[in-house]
Chains A and B, each alone.
Chain A
Amino acid sequence: MTLETRKLLDKAFSGLGLIAIGMMAAALLLILTPILWRGSKAFIFKGTIEHRRVMLEEFDRGNTDRFPAEMEKAKAAREPIYQILADFKAEMKTMERSTRGEYKSAYREVEQAITVLLGPAPGERTPVLMRQRYGQMRWDRTQIKLHEVLFSEEWDYSIPGAMGVLVETPRIEQFAGTKLEPLFHYMEEHIDEMMRPKTTFYWQFITDKSKDSHIFGGIWPEVLGTLYLTLGAMLFAIPMGVIAAIYLCEYAKEGRVVSFLRICISTLAGVPSIVFGLFGLAFFLNTIHVSDSKSVLAGSLTLSLLILPTLIRSAEEAILAVPRTYKEAALSLGAGRWHTILTVILPASLPGILTGIVISMGRAAGETAPIIFTAAVSVGAPLKIWETLNQPTPALPWNIYNLCTEHEAVDEIRHVQYGMVLTLVVIVLLLNMAAILMRARISKKLRG
């Protein structure tokens, strides 16, 4: 090979490495951007008057003086719609039977779409289900539902072999010449006045209870459940992890027992998380019965086993990083072994141990598989602290799964799902940021 080619190859090789790093960063960005961007819309969005009504009626929050006037205005703007609907209904009665039949089902579709958009018509009975009592609360959903009023959608399967094609026809054409025709123009032009969108900052999304399976309100039960599970797991894991690390670093003599212990710890680290879940079910719930059914306690115990290896390793590293001279100085002053550990080694390695704790907290907060069978339910009220001993809880990771796969109105509550993912990711990332910063400070201290 000539020297030029070797140089070129060298550069190309570096280029490959840089491409790999770049792709990794791109993957991170690609994943985080939609979560951050669409997740933020759970907190900041254009809320319609229906949102303010829900806040006032269900959560006792909002301006009770100004709201009725605003609601009146919105109602006035909606009035003509119901007038047109009533007119058309009267017109339908005068039609011939065959044409009436044609219009009837199409009309019912329109009527339903309007109910979904604006809520029940005035004078109608209050529906039993809460989700039917209010119109659209968000401006983006409003526009989608408005589209459903304006266009009828049909799947065309006429082409053999190919997938169905969505055909949209404007309803204004369906109802051309009838009294319903002006409705569509009116709706398109006056939707602002009917819904009165306003930029809303709904930070209470985190602290509100959810109502009617997450269609209304926030995610407090999930946040609280995650908090309980994480703290519970730490409660069991920290003492065990730190003590094990102290033993392995300070007391144990390298030998068969210790290498056996180490193999066990690394095996524990390699156990798939779902197996932890099954073990939690088989052992904590079905064998020693820590509680009658799923509970936060059982979930915490399972999670604590999961994070134990991480915790032991990081605590070990932190203890080993304490300079030997510290320990020797303490021992030469006449301190006992135990005394040295408590007053010299532990304080000196505390930041490192804390870093490990914070990282494992992030891990415990985000794990889903171990709590599926041991602690998580999809719907539940926020628990009191003593109820954690025998009651299951909703938790962020589980409910993210549940809402985006098993909820009956998956598309309607995308913003809730994104908001939950954002909350979880932010919690975990904040914990990890804290760990990264702490580690930077420690390494500075050790170097300087």
Chain B
Amino acid sequence: MQKSSSLIMSNATGQRQRMGALLGQGFLLFITSLSTFAVFFIFYFILKDAIPFFKLEGFKEFFTSTAWFPSGEPAEFGALPIFIGTGLVTLGAVVVAVPLGIAAAICLSDLLPFNVRQIVKPVIEILAAIPSVAYGFFALVVFAPLLQNHGGAILSAGTWMILGPILALLVVVLGDLINEKLESKKTGWVVFPILGGLALFTIHSLASRLAGVEISSGTNALNVAVILGIMALPTVVSVSEDALQAAGRELREGSYALGATRAETIIKTVIPASVSGILAAVILGVMRAIGETMVVWMASGNAARIPDPWHNMLQPIRTLTATIAGDMGEADHVTGSSRYHVLFAMAFCLLAFSFVMNLASELIVKRSRKKLGKS
């Protein structure tokens, strides 16, 4: 009797179980949506403390003035140099991270054999895992003095390292094109040395001019941009590698079957197919660079003025994140003043920017997935 009743559920127990399951599911949903609440709370609380600033000081000064004296009498809150500083280092980081990261991602997904890839992947993971404060320490204690004492040598070596491979590739392509135009195979031994010599001369003259540059302070935008670029590399590499992988085997094999070499396949077929994923990778890299605090706080020099000229990377700058981190210690005592609220206003700008970027990258990835899935 007992057994049969446990096998065949009565209506009431069934209902109770269904209620229990529903309750349990509700509980799970609640816990899951905590992260949603967190997002809303973050927006709400940052905005709540940011609005008083705009009420007190208005928008115009914040976005257009270049005078940043939050503790002055009267206080001035012109954050334009800080926005420009943020943009400058982010741009620098993108210049470092994007070409290098995409090249590395192509290498990882298409060129390297499986067992080599198994070694390279941990390198990327370790780069991503090193705490930002360790990068900042490196930038401040090791890299900054190096830049200050051997700035010219480092700059010229960097020029060789960046321009060397690019110009070599260019020489090959151009030489080939010229040979094709001349329509004679015998000119090859003249054209290539001339072009090569020209390229070497260009790099050499540029490098020797840079070798004479003296850097007055090692804590500057260049230092930070390079380190931020290295920090953004893992993001760029792993996301764009995913995108390249998603392009699929059939596409590559089709291209090979038409007689394309590997390089041609990658450039003309794989990259166009995965361009949206790569774009998402770049966006995520930008976000990583813009949101980074410790490196810029420690090694950017924290000078709230626009470099002269504006693209001069060798001058100290100041960024949004570093301003928030640095000024909150002092502004904390004056809770409620514009000085306190301006930091929240900056945080809101960061937050809004990263929100938009994140949404954009999400949309791009989703759309590209749909496209690849259909084709």
Known: A35-B134, A272-B290. A279 touches B350 (CB 8 A): no
Query: Could you tell me the distance in whole angstroms from the C-beta of A427 to the nearest C-beta in chain B?
Result: 9
Which one of A69-77, A150-158, A169-177, A241-249 is at the B interface? A241-249
CB of B321 closer than 8 Å to a CB of A:
yes
Interface presence of B141 (CB below 8 A): yes
Distance to closest chain B CB from A407 (angstroms): 12
Whether the pair B347, A6 counts as a contact (CB closer than 8 A) is: no
Given contact pairs A279-B41, A282-B48, A428-B129, A401 touches B136 in the complex (Cβ within 8 A) = yes
- Our pick among B38, B165, B290 for the contact of A15 (Cβ within 8 Å) is B165
Q: Interface with A: B70-78, B202-210, B257-265, B309-317, which one? A: B257-265
Residue from B28, B135, B216, B292 within 8 A of A251 (CB atoms): B28
A400 at the interface (CB under 8 A from B): yes
Complex Cα gap A2–B347 (Å): 56
Residues A6 and B321 in contact in the complex (CB < 8 Å), given A15-B165, A279-B45:
no
**Does chain A have a CB within 8 A of B213?**
no
Contact B31 A240, beta carbon cutoff 8 Å: yes
Which among B136, B137, B172, B358 has the greatest number of chain A C-beta atoms within 10 A?
B137
Residue from the list B237, B262, B293, B329 in contact with A274, Cβ < 8 A: B293
Query: Would you give the 0/1 interface string for A9-27, flagging 1 where the beta carbon is closer than 8 Å to chain B?
Result: 1101111111111011101
Q: Which residues of A contact B48 (CB under 8 A)?
A: 282
Is B275 in the interface zone, CB < 8 Å from A?
Answer: no
B243 adjacent to chain A (CB < 8 Å): no
Which one of A14, A28, A247 lies within 8 Å of B126 (CB-CB)?
A28
Say whether B297 contacts A401, CB under 8 Å: yes
Q: How far is the CB of B3 from chain A (nearest CB, A)?
A: 15
Q: Is residue A273 contacting chain B, with contact meaning CB distance below 8 A?
A: yes
- The answer, yes or no, to whether B79 is at the interface (CB within 8 Å) is no
Partner of B141, one of A240, A337, A414: A414
B334 CB within 8 Å of chain A: no
- Encode contact with B along A254-293: 1 for CB under 8 Å, 0 otherwise: 0000001101111111111111111101110011000000
Contact: B324 with A16, CB < 8 Å? no
Chain A contacts for B99, CB-based, 8 A: 20
Please give me the residue from chain B that is nearest to A262 by CB atom: B362
Nearest chain B CB to A242's CB is how many angstroms away? 9
Q: Are B28 and A17 interface neighbours, CB within 8 A?
A: no
The one of B34, B180, B262 that contacts A10, using a Cβ cutoff of 8 Å = B262
Chain A 386-431 residues near chain B, CB threshold 8 A: 397-398, 400-401, 404-405, 414, 417, 421, 424-425, 428-429, 431
User: At the interface with chain A, which of B52-60, B103-111, B193-201, B247-255?
Assistant: B103-111
With an 8 A cutoff between CB atoms, is A220 at the interface? no
Residues of A14-62 at the interface with B, using a CB-CB cut-off of 8 Å, are 14-21, 23-25, 27-28, 31-32, 34-35
Whole-angstrom distance from the CB of B178 to the nearest CB of chain A?
11
Q: How many whole Å from B233's CB to the nearest CB in chain A?
A: 6
What's the Cα separation between A337 and B233 when bound, in Å? 42
A1 within 8 Å of B (CB atoms): yes
Cβ–Cβ contact B42 & A275, under 8 A:
yes
Contact B42 A279 (CB under 8 A): yes
Question: Is there a chain B Cβ closer than 8 Å to A317's Cβ?
Answer: no
Contact A428 B131 (CB under 8 A): yes
CB contacts (< 8 Å) of B131 on chain A: these are: 365-368, 397, 424-425, 428
A309 to B297, CA, bound (A): 26
A195 within 8 A of B: no
Question: CB-defined interface of A356-372 with B at 8 Å, one 1/0 digit per residue?
Answer: 00010011011111001
Residues of B within 8 A of A263 (CB): 359, 362
B36 and A260: CB pair below 8 A? yes
Q: Assuming the A-B contacts A10-B262, A240-B35, A274-B347, are A369 and B125 also in contact, with contact meaning beta carbons closer than 8 angstroms in the complex? A: no
- The answer to whether A223 has its CB under 8 Å from any CB of chain B is no
Scan residues 342-377 of chain A and give those whose CB is less than 8 A from a CB of chain B. 359, 362-363, 365-369, 372-373
Q: Is the CB of B172 within 8 A of A268?
A: no
Q: Which bucket holds chain B's interface residue count?
A: 35 or more
Is A63 on the interface with B (CB-CB < 8 A)? no
| Residue A5 at the chain B interface, CB threshold 8 Å | yes
A298 at the interface (CB under 8 A from B): no
How many chain A residues touch B (Cβ–Cβ < 8 Å)? 93
Q: Among the interface residues A10, A246, A252, which one has the most CB atoms of the partner chain B within 10 A?
A: A10
| 1-34 of chain B: CB within 8 A of chain A | 21, 24-25, 28-29, 31-34
Contacts of A366 in B (CB 8 A): 129-134
B278 within 8 Å of A (CB atoms): no
Q: Determine the distance from Cα of A265 to Cα of B237 in the docked complex, in whole angstroms.
A: 22
Is A114 in contact with chain B by the CB < 8 A criterion? no
A10 touches B261 (CB 8 A): yes
The one of B46, B104, B138, B324 in contact with A17, judged by C-beta atoms closer than 8 angstroms, is B104
- Bound complex: CA A118 to CA B325 (Å): 40
Smallest Cβ-Cβ distance to B127: which chain A residue = A28
The answer to the question of B120 belonging to the interface, with a C-beta cut-off of 8 Å to chain A, is yes
Q: Please judge, given known A-B contacts A13-B262, A287-B45, whether A1 and B354 are in contact too, CB under 8 Å.
A: no
CB distance from B325 to the nearest CB of A (A): 6
Q: What residues of chain A lie closer than 8 Å to B46, measured between beta carbons? A: 275, 278-279, 282
Asked whether A283 and B107 contact (CB < 8 A) given A5-B176, A247-B28, the answer is no
In the complex, chain A residues whose CB is within 8 Å of the CB of B264: 6, 10
Chain A residues, Cβ within 8 Å of B169:
9, 12-13, 16
B157 in the interface, Cβ–Cβ < 8 Å?
Answer: no
From B109, which residue of chain A is reached at the shortest CB distance?
A17
Is B228 in the interface zone, CB < 8 Å from A? no
Using a CB-CB cutoff of 8 Å, which residues 129-174 of chain B contact chain A?
129-138, 140-142, 161, 165, 168-169, 172-173
**Complex contact A31–B230 (CB within 8 A):** yes
Contact at A240–B34, with CB atoms within 8 Å?
yes
Please tell me if A308 contacts chain B, counting CB pairs below 8 Å: yes
Residues of B within 8 A of A251 (CB): 25, 28-29
Q: Which residue of B106, B111, B293 contacts A272 across the interface (Cβ within 8 Å)?
A: B293
CB-defined contacts of A247 to chain B, threshold 8 Å: 25, 28-29, 31-32
CB pair A261–B36 under 8 Å, yes or no, is yes
Residues of chain B with a CB closer than 8 A to A260's CB: 36
A7 on interface, CB distance cutoff 8 Å = yes
Of B100, B130, B351, the residue contacting A271 (CB under 8 A) is: B351
Known contacts A244-B35, A367-B131, A400-B137: does B126 contact A17 (CB below 8 Å)?
A: no
Instruction: Please give the distance in Å from B332's CB to the nearest CB on chain A.
Output: 7
Interchain CA distance A12-B172 in the complex, whole Å: 9
- B-to-A contact residues, CB < 8 Å: 21, 24-25, 28-29, 31-36, 38-39, 41-42, 45-46, 48-49, 99-101, 103-104, 106-108, 111-112, 120, 122-127, 129-138, 140-142, 161, 165, 168-169, 172-173, 176, 179-180, 216, 230, 233, 237, 261-264, 266-267, 287, 290-294, 297-298, 321, 324-325, 328-329, 332, 335, 343-344, 347, 350-351, 354-355, 357-359, 362
18 contacts between A and B (CB under 8 A): A9-B263, A16-B103, A18-B107, A21-B107, A31-B138, A244-B34, A252-B32, A261-B32, A268-B35, A271-B291, A272-B287, A273-B293, A274-B324, A279-B41, A279-B46, A368-B133, A425-B134, A436-B125
Contacts A282-B49, A338-B21 aside, 13 further interface pairs with beta carbons under 8 A come to: A9-B169, A13-B263, A31-B138, A31-B230, A247-B29, A268-B42, A272-B291, A273-B132, A274-B324, A277-B324, A338-B24, A366-B134, A369-B293
